[in-house]
């Protein structure tokens, strides 16, 4: 029997060779770190289902942003918990709302840090849905105008990019038009183009107190069984003016990330969501897995699937690992 001429092990011989031929390299400047902002002063409240994640008050944001910058992170994604909720989610576009205050604070204390905001109603509505309710259903077209107002109020407060996560039809066009008409034509839209109705958002809903009081989100978020539909959703957002297409969750949808990467030439982002984070944390706490290695391997898989940008609660830990040169 002829021995094969090609021996894959030749290039695995040591780290110098392995890194010479390494195809995928995570980088801190392509990570986005989500932050939860809540009212009060001096607040740093742990989220029990997401160890290592805190809900912090506005006065803490400057220090947090500086720490992130020192680690090489350039982008934050903000979620807000308002003082009070109502049926229309009016706190979401209040001039002095929690997110608007947070943006101003961050732009003041860490102007080089890029701020993206989540544009949605669910954290601000008393019923917890991502749009307004009319006759017990989430009304698509009545929600659009409110979403545009939210995005505009974020841009006015100084947001660098907006990220609509509501999954209403037509919202990217509505938001783009509102931004353009008000001289915010340079503010990009990172659309949650392909967002599945997923159980992996469970811990986030604890953190942001936004679980729907009644019903679920299957009437607007996508069916996890569908992949052709993901391409239609992404096409619509592209045509409506999205600058970045996002897939969410990430790990359970690596095939979708790859399809978007192959079909579109826009940057593709993937959201490594709360449940995906919490599962690693829980197994690590039991001593069943090596947390850092599983974290790195997970983020690598998302990048390898085709994501240019990864949104993850592990951003700081990953940036630290990269800095230590251990990856
Ligand atoms: C809200 C929103 C959600 C997430 C991001 N934006 C929750 C949801 O749609 O229920 C989930 C993020 C995570 O799980 O980490 N529109």
As a three-state string, the secondary structure of the chain is CCCCCCCHHHHHCCHHHHHHCCCCCCCHHHEEEEEEEECCCCCEEECCCCCCCEEEEHHHHHHHHHHHHHCCCCEEEEEECCCCCECCCHHHHCCCCHHHHHHHHHHHHCCCCEEEEEECCCCCECCCCCCCEECCEECHHHHHHHHHHHHHHHHHHCCCEEEECCCCCCHHHHHHHHHHHCCCCCCCEEEEEEEECCHHHHHHHHHHCCCCCCCCCCCCCECCCCCHHHHHHHHHHHHHCCCEEEEECCHHHHHHHHHHHHHCCCCEEEEECHHHHHHHHHHHHCCCCCHHHHHHHHHHHHHHHCCCEEEECCHHHHHHHHHCCCC
Active site residue 84: no
pTM of the model: 0.96
- Number of the ligand 1 atom closest to the C-alpha atom of 273: 15
pLDDT digits (tens), the chain, 327 positions: 677 888 999 999 999 999 999 999 999 999 999 999 999 999 999 999 999 999 999 999 999 999 999 999 999 999 999 999 999 999 999 999 999 999 999 999 999 999 999 999 999 999 999 999 998 789 999 999 999 999 999 999 999 999 999 999 999 999 999 999 999 999 999 999 999 999 999 999 988 888 888 889 999 999 999 999 999 999 999 999 999 999 999 999 999 999 999 999 999 999 999 999 999 999 999 999 999 999 999 999 999 999 999 999 999 999 999 999 876
pLDDT value at residue 93:
95
Active site residue 286: no
Give the residue extent of every domain in the chain: 27-323
pLDDT value at residue 135:
86
CA of 135 to the centre of ligand 1 (A): 24
Q: Is the CB of 314 under 6 A from ligand 1?
A: no
Q: Is the CB of 57 under 6 A from ligand 1?
A: no
Q: Is the CB of 130 under 6 A from ligand 1?
A: yes
CATH: 3.30.70.60, 3.20.20.70, 3.40.50.720, 3.40.350.10. Which one for 27-323? 3.20.20.70
Q: Is the CB of 198 under 6 A from ligand 1?
A: no
């Amino acid at each position: 029997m002829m021995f094969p001429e090609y021996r894959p092990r030749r290039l695995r011989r040591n780290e110098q060779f392995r890194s010479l031929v390494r195809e995928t390299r995570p980088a801190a400047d392509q990570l986005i770190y989500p932050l939860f902002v809540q009212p009060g002063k001096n607040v740093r409240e742990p989220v029990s289902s997401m160890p290592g994640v805190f809900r912090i008050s506005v006065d803490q944001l400057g220090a947090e942003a500086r720490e992130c910058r020192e680690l090489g992170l350039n982008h934050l994604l903000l979620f807000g918990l308002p003082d009070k909720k109502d049926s229309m989610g009016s706190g979401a576009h209040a001039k002095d709302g929690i997110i608007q205050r947070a943006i101003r604070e961050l732009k003041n204390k860490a102007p080089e840090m890029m701020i993206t905001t989540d544009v949605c109603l669910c954290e601000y509505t008393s019923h917890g849905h991502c749009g307004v309710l009319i006759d017990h259903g989430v009304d698509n077209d009545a929600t659009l105008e409110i979403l545009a107002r939210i995005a505009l109020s974020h841009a006015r407060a100084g947001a660098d990019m907006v990220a609509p996560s509501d999954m209403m039809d037509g919202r990217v066009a509505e938001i783009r038009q509102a931004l353009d008409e008000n001289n915010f034509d340079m503010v990009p839209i990172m659309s949650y183009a392909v967002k599945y109705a997923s159980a992996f958002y469970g811990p986030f809903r604890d953190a942001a107190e936004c679980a729907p009081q009644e019903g679920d989100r299957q009437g607007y978020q996508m069916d996890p069984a569908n992949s052709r539909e993901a391409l239609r959703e992404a096409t619509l957002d592209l045509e409506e003016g999205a600058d970045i297409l996002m897939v969410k969750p990430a790990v359970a949808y690596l095939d979708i990330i790859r399809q978007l990467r192959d079909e579109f030439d826009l940057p593709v982002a993937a959201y490594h969501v709360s449940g995906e984070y919490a599962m690693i944390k829980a197994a690590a706490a039991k001593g069943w897995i090596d947390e850092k290695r599983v974290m790195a391997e997970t983020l690598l898989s998302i990048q390898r699937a085709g994501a240019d940008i990864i949104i993850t609660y592990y951003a700081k830990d990953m940036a630290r690992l990269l800095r230590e040169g251990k990856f």
